[in-house]
A and B are shown apart, each in its own frame.
Chain A
Amino acid sequence: MDESALRRALGWPGQYWLLVMMWMRSGLAYPLSFALTVLTGVLITGTDFAAVFLMFSHLKSFGGFSLGEMAILYGTASMTLGLANLLTGSIDQVGQRIRTGELDVWLVRPVPAFLQAVAGDFVLRRVGRPLQAGLILAVALSRTELDWTVAKGLVLGLSLITGTIIFGAIFVLGAAFQFIAIDSAELSNSFTYGGQQLTQYPLVIFGQDVVRAVTFIVPLAFVNYYPVLYVLGKPAPLGLPSWIGLLAPLVAIAMIALASLAWRGGLRRYRSTGS
């Protein structure tokens, strides 16, 4: 990397922050609407957990998990998805920008298109989900009896970061696919929101094939399931070793590499209509 490229790269955090601040101000322009959106962000994601809670009025254990343990799974799944959604901004709407021609606006500005995409329409209201999930996670952790060790604490803390990265990479991969199929925005919902829905339950209930698929094909099991199994001291499925949760950071790095390749490939493939 030559010196000018390095200097450009050093400018990125500042540019990102500038864009985020701009969108935050824009979001606060209608205060009542903003307050309602944050409140409802908490409510909408809260209903997700309310469903789990209501299920437990009929059950004592779900796939071998108690309510408290389910709350840990839910909290980690929802929090990582929420943070990933917050940090990748409007990148999942890139297809719409291609259709309307607005993508060109990103390309002519002296800031990388990727930064504009992830900072664009930075919606502070999206803090609702991670906030609510974090609260449930905190309550669940304080109420569940666990033999805490430093290693377990580290694994859980780290899994929140790596899980966010894995979900974030899936958002970017879904966006990159929109360069090929403009209207496919909803497709990635299967893996992002669908992934969150899936990982908030003990994966074994879905059968071995699903566990294999989310371990080896779309590594959603590394978002929270394997790390949480490690923390709870439960055995891993498929005869996998119990330390498989420790591989989450490696999976996250691989996902970043994949997402970065895909995004660059997509952007290179893009041809403006020019009108």
Chain B
Amino acid sequence: MGVYWAIAVRSFRRFSTYRIATLSGAFTNTVFGFIFCGVYLTLWEARPGLGGYDVSDALTFVWLQQGLLLPVGIFGATTTGELGERVRTGEIAVDLYRPTHLMLWWLSVDAGRAAFQLLFRGGAPLLVGALVFNLNFPSSALQWLAVAVAVTFGITVSFGVRYLVALSGFWITDSRGVANLAMAMSLFFSGSTLPLVLFPGWIGEVARATPWAATLQVPIDVWLGRNPGGVGSALAFQLVWILILVLAGQLATYFATRKVVIAGG
């Protein structure tokens, strides 16, 4: 267990060295935040109460979404991107030598990254948003706890999907195509392009059942206290996806390592 903690800590430190990158990223998230606020203000002024959100819910959604994009890895993440690259180049062999579990190793790497990006990439835009707009914050310690759990679950679900995507390289050599497909799904079904509460009819129902909904929309709804079935069922929904994805990840790891042939040299 100690080794995985050590990996996570080092991953956290690694990401903390890119200060200018963090700053420019947070700036970009903030700019997008203002753009989306302009759009959503127009939308909610025309249709107050749309999707069960009031105006300040909608604006809070924007800043949480901008803050969570990177930590959750909606566009993919450096860590799992590197894993895919290691599969393609064969460097994965080094990872397989290690007396550690492949999925846990990369989960730790990803957790360190996510923790750093949550603090700095997530915190900065939210702070700016809260200074400019009237945003909603959780009102009780219990709700803060629920938010913490939901965000952690969200990142884990996202990792589960990204891990499978990276491992697909064992079968098709270059996982970047699959990674892009996953990114398209993740952008649309997580609520990044538009909150899922605005998806009408069956599209909405399908979108809200996908694992991507569990990564972004669900944690934000926990923060806002707007989960349709309450916080308990929201967390249970995330947990079900975590179980499915961990199981699938284990199977993929098993078959990939059976299949891989390492050319010595």
Contact = CB atoms under 8 A, between A and B. Distances in A.
Interface of A: 30, 32-37, 39-41, 43-44, 47-48, 50-51, 54-55, 57-59, 62-63, 125, 181-187, 189-190, 194, 197-198, 201, 205-207, 210
B54 to A, nearest CB: 15
Contact of A184 (B20, B31, B173): B20
Given A33-B178, A183-B20, 8 more contacts: A36-B178, A40-B184, A44-B184, A47-B187, A54-B200, A55-B194, A63-B42, A187-B28
A36 B177 CA distance: 5
A33 B194 contact: no
A67 to B, nearest CB: 14
Nearest to A57: B200
A267 B172 CA distance: 39
A50 B193 contact: yes
A182 B20 contact: yes
A37 B20 contact: no
Contacts of A54: 194, 198-200, 203
Contacts of B200: 54, 57
A43 B175 CA distance: 17
Interface stretch (B32-40, B108-116, B132-140, B226-234): B32-40
B28 A40 contact: no
Interface residues of B, number: 38
Interface of B: 18-21, 24-25, 27-28, 31-32, 35, 38-39, 41-43, 46-47, 50, 172-178, 180-181, 183-184, 187-188, 193-194, 198-200, 203
A39 B181 CA distance: 8
A181 B177 contact: no
Contacts of B175: 33
Pairs of residues from A and B, 5 with the lowest C-beta to C-beta distance, nearest first: A36-B177, A33-B177, A187-B24, A183-B21, A40-B180
Contact of A34 (B38, B177, B187): B177
Contacts of A58: 43, 46-47, 50, 198
Given A54-B194, A58-B50, A207-B38, A187 B177 contact: no
30 contacts: A30-B173, A30-B174, A34-B177, A36-B177, A44-B187, A47-B184, A47-B188, A47-B193, A50-B188, A50-B193, A51-B193, A54-B199, A55-B43, A58-B46, A58-B50, A59-B43, A59-B47, A63-B42, A183-B18, A184-B21, A186-B27, A186-B28, A187-B27, A187-B28, A190-B32, A194-B31, A198-B35, A201-B38, A205-B38, A205-B39
A62 B187 CA distance: 23
A177 B35 CA distance: 23
A206 B35 contact: yes
B22 to A, nearest CB: 8
B39 A201 contact: yes
A41 B180 contact: yes
A39 B180 CA distance: 9
Contacts of A125: 180
